[in-house]
Structure 1
Amino acid sequence: MNPYIQKRRWKFLLLAFATVIAGASLWYTNYLVKNISKAERTKAEVWAMSNKNIVEMPDVNDEFITFIYSIRDSLTVPAIVTDEVGEIKFVRGLDSTKTYINLPDEGTNSLNPKLTYDPQYYKQQLGEMRSQHTPIKVSLTSGEVQYVYYKDSLLLTQLRAFPYIQLSVITIFLVIAYSVFSSSRRNEQNQVWVGMAKETAHQLGTPISSLMAWIELMKSKFNADDDPLILEMENDIRRLEIVADRFSKIGSKPALNNQVVYDIIKDYVDYFKVRVSDKIEFAVSGDQQVEALMSIPLFDWVLENLLKNAVNAIGGPGKINVSISENLAKEQVYIDISDSGKGIPRLKFETIFQPGYTTRKRGWGLGLSLTKRIIEAYHKGQIFVKDSELGKGTTFRIILKSNLKYEPTTA
């Protein structure tokens, strides 16, 4: 079975398992909450009846009064008794330390140890009880009506919050598990690509060596050391060597050296322009002295991708300009690559750097994604679409550090 399909099935199984756990937990917790809530309501009703008996039977024997008091005192949930107009008559199970406030001593800044009753605390608690449960109505034989309010116990309150906490934990677990699976898959894919790249470099080595030998033979046999066609063939073979070198070094740490940016770009543009339509004009301008830390093989790869895209975008006669400048304040080098092509919609400025995105029928959509990785991951720089207008052209900007303390990153 394909390992990627198998991992996808594991993801679905993991999601289904987590969903079942969450659903079962929610159902059972809700079941417990309902049962505990009913039990607390019953206790509150018993407590209300015991209060009524205490009020209406003051002359019964002491043992019965003690029994009634024990029933009343057995209530574990906080409760408040009010009359018909809402005046508090009795409280049960509330924090007594919050029912008093300190009064400042007159003439001093110290607090008077004398305490006074704080009615706001009871009113606040009564408001909470009214919002939670319907009060229990108690009708006395004297015609007076009292109302017993109560609120959820600490256990019930925690149980009500428990499903949300559990769902949050399950969600975090799913996110972490998905990230681990995705990271594992990406690592495996990267290892496959690295292996393929190194094998490609190895396979290219033999024909490149043969081509070099054949050229040397042609030079000696036809006395063609200065023949322009032979020189261009040598340039192409050197380019093949660079490509093979790129592939062989994928997965290793690229070496960055201080380079004159103008020279690197001019050398590559001179090589590239004779291999595309002569209807396209190339120009390299700007600061010819500015330097930056660069890997020449990797940066040539960036130029190759950007210039090929520019040529494809033009599709006929046009211009490609490369401009170099330096921002001394930020210690940055700006490289602007402009073309007179068909342009890019503004909504696609970020999308074009995503792997797989392409507007060509036979393209893989990896060029700009690779370019972005080379600039950002290996050169610690930036690349983005600086400007583009449909029908007029596009400008890509590369930003490199002109004074960069660089630590290599494994490809």
Structure 2
Amino acid sequence: MNPYQQKRRWKYLLLAFAVVIASGSLLYTKYLVKNIAKSERTRAQVWALSMRQVLSSDDNDFLNYVFAVRDSLTVPAIVVDDKGEFRYTKGLDTTKTFEALAAEGNKALTYDTTYFKTELSYMKEQHAPIKLNIFDSQWLVYYKDSALLTQLKFFPYIQLSVIAIFLLTAYTAFSSSRKSEQNQVWVGLAKETAHQLGTPISSLMAWIELMKDKFNAENDPLIAEMENDVKRLEIVADRFSKIGSRPILEDHLVFDVVKDFMDYFRVRVSDRISFEMSGDMQARAGLNIPLFDWVLENLMKNAVNAIQDKGSIKVEISENKVKKQVYIDVSDTGKGIPRSKFDTVFQPGYTTRKRGWGLGLSLTKRMVENYHNGQIFVRDSEVGKGTTFRIVLKAMKNDD
């Protein structure tokens, strides 16, 4: 298992653990809510029965006890008679009831009809009524959940939301800090590598010139190829020196840039792999040659590694004049990539090779997107038949 897959597995395990904790919290809260709701219904029934005793008993001592029981109810309730008229209330907003003088001069309670009807409707939705037979008629006692029970219902969701927001914020801050630190290490390492390569490269160039003079080998093809490789090392060192700084993009014919690199690369791989180029020869884009050659090198090396024995690598250049984009499709006849891995192949550490570091395509994506303001993705792939990577660049104005 490569490091990226191992890291992803840990993420899934932590996510599963978080889901278990959240589910356990919700289930336990639901259990508490169910028991409290059951207890509140019992208290509502006791209140209803005590009210019936108040209306039907003349024993003052007993009535004092009944009043104490009745007034201990904390659950909001409304009692209506068989005609739907409000008879009694408990635990509602007292500002919605007020005293008024009846026609005979006696005080009577009047109600905010809209408020009470709204509350009654809400109670009907929450619980079935408690039925009481009083004065040869049936009264109904409606009640709703207490404020404590209502808060308890929503508490776990609020709690989990706050925890999730905190963890997300902390994770984002930590990831940003870690990414910044990794970038600093990467930039420092790259620049130090470029610095260390500078001295031996200069020495090699001097030795090559000395060999040409000493052996009169100005046109020797072996020394010419040696010189090309040393120049290639210079380009590699230049690439590393540019990491961490904004590279300068210059207007180039994309076809010519790709062809120059392909001509260099093809003589350094097996002759059982053929190379082909086609497409728009006039398409232009802003490129930094050392970095873009690095992109092509990574893609073509991956293509060579994907081809088991004999195959071909094809590069096609096209331009979408409507979208003002240049497309570079790099295709091979290798072993292909499963569709589920189309995005994964660009993750740092992902590799299918035993000795691979899994950084090639990750760096390629970085150079295309961050340094060339473009895109790169797997356009198409089929296991056993081959893969096509597409690079999308912003087209430059063609003066022709």
Q: TM-score range by the shorter chain?
A: 0.7 to 0.9
In structure 2, the CA distance between the partners of 1:38 and 1:119, relative to structure 1 (3 Å rule), is closer
Instruction: Answer whether contact 1:81 1:91 (CA < 8 A) is retained.
Output: yes
Is contact 2:274-2:312 (8 Å) kept?
yes
Where does residue 81 of structure 1 map in the other structure?
Answer: 79
Q: 1:392 to 1:43 in 2, by over 3 A?
A: closer
2:210 to 194, 213, 217: 217
Deviation at 1:271, TM superposition (A): 1.0
**Cα displacement string for residues 57-83 of structure 1 (whole angstroms, at most 9, x for unaligned residues):** 6x999xx99999999789764312245
Give, in whole Å, the separation in 1 of the partners of 2:393 and 2:365. 12
Q: Percent same amino acid among aligned pairs? A: 60
**Alpha-carbon contact 2:78-2:89 (below 8 Å) kept:** yes
- State the match for 2:56 in structure 1: 56
Rounded Cα–Cα distance in structure 1 between residues aligned with 2:286 and 2:25: 59
User: Cα deviations across residues 228-277 of structure 1 (Å, max 9, x unaligned)?
Assistant: 22221111111101111111222222221211111111111111111112
Residue ranges of structure 2 left out of the alignment (5+ in a row): 1-12, 98-111
1:149 alignment partner in structure 2: 142
2:385 to 386, 392, 410: 392
- Which of 306, 310, 314 in structure 2 is aligned with 1:317? 310
1:232 aligns with 2:225: yes
Residue equivalent to 1:204? 197
Which residues of structure 1 form unaligned runs of 5+? 1-11, 100-114, 405-411
Q: Structure 1 residue runs of 4+, over 6 Å off?
A: 19-37, 64-76, 95-99, 115-120
Q: Shift of residue 26 of structure 1?
A: 10
Asked if the contact 1:305/1:368 (under 8 Å) is kept, the reply is yes
Q: Label 1:254 to 1:48 Cα distance change in 2 as closer, same or farther (>3 A).
A: farther
Aligned to 1:373: 366
Provide the C-alpha distance between the structure 2 equivalents of 1:315 and 1:89, rounded to a whole number of angstroms. 87
1:294 matched to which residue of 2?
287
Match of 1:90 among 81, 84, 87: 87
Residue 124 of structure 1 deviates from its aligned partner by 1.8
Name the SS of the counterpart of 1:400 in structure 2: strand
CA offset at residue 33 of structure 1? 10
Does the residue aligned with 1:182 lie in a helix, a strand or coil? helix
Deviations 1:367-409, CA, capped at 9 Å, x for gaps: 11211221122222122222233333322211111049xxxxx
Determine which of 250, 260, 263 is the counterpart of 1:267.
Answer: 260
C-alpha displacement at 1:123, in angstroms?
A: 5.5
Q: Structure 1 40/343 Cα, relative in aligned 2: closer, same or farther at 3 Å?
A: closer
* Aligned-residue RMSD, C-alpha: 4.3
Alpha-carbon distance, 1:163 to partner: 2.6
- Distance in 1 (CA, whole Å) between partners of 2:254 and 2:345 is 25
- Among 295, 298, 301, the alignment partner of 1:305 is 298
Q: What does residue 111 of structure 1 align with?
A: none
Q: Which residue of 1 aligns with 2:332?
A: 339
Count of residue pairs the alignment pairs up: 367
What TM-score comes out, normalization by structure 2 length? 0.75
User: Which stretch has the larger CA shift, 280-289 or 341-350?
Assistant: 341-350
Compute the displacement of 1:365 (Å): 1.5
Aligned to 2:247: 254
Q: CA deviation at 1:165?
A: 0.6
Is the contact between residue 80 and residue 139 of structure 2 (CA under 8 Å) also seen in structure 1?
Answer: yes
Shift of 1:199: 1.9
